[in-house]
Structure formats: C-alpha cells, structure tokens
Amino acid sequence: MTKVKKKFFEPGKPLGWSKSDGQAKRRAAALASRKGNALRTAKALMALANVTQDRETERKSRADALYFYRMHKKYKKG
C-alpha cells in the first residue's frame, strides 16, 4: 500500500486569481479577496508562487506579490 502525500499548502481562502486574466484584473481580484490588505495579498500570492509547478503561474503570481509588497511598503511609510 502506497502512502498518499499530504499537501503542505492549503490556501485558507481562494484568491480569485487566474493566470489567464489581465494584470489589472488579477491584482484587483486578489486584493479584493483579502479585503484590501496588500500585505496579506502579497503573502498569499508568494505562497502560490512557491508551490506551483506551472512556470507561467509562478512568474505572474511572484510579480503580483512583489507589486503588493511594494504597495504595502509605500503606504506604510505614509
């Protein structure tokens, strides 16, 4: 009997994010899913980038995550 691998990444809430959507739509959907919190959105997207096996998803989610990290840093300073 083979042992079933347990997935270590289980998102608590869907992002509403799709790699086939345009950049603005992806970012708006992801931010809305986290109630406007840029830091939470960035962390969720980075987690997705770290576990996906699809290269396109990894690139787009990482780029969006970095965008939200910069956005959080910009507005945190004032």
Work out the number of other CB atoms within 10 angstroms of the CB of residue 49.
18
What is the predicted pLDDT for the residue at 8? 52
What is the predicted pLDDT for the residue at 5? 63
**C-alpha atoms less than 13 angstroms from C-alpha of 67 in its C-beta half-sphere:** 15
Per run of 10 residues, the mean pLDDT along the chain (length 78 residues) is 61 83 95 91 92 93 96 84
> Does the predicted TM-score (pTM) go above 0.85?
no
What is the predicted pLDDT for the residue at 15? 85
3-class DSSP state for residue 11?
Answer: coil
Residue 59's contacts (CB-CB under 8 Å, 6 or more residues apart) are: none
CA 53/CA 75 separation, integer angstroms: 32
What is the predicted pLDDT for the residue at 76? 82
What is the predicted pLDDT for the residue at 75? 87
CA 25/CA 5 separation, integer angstroms: 34
Pure H helices in the chain:
23-33, 38-51, 55-77
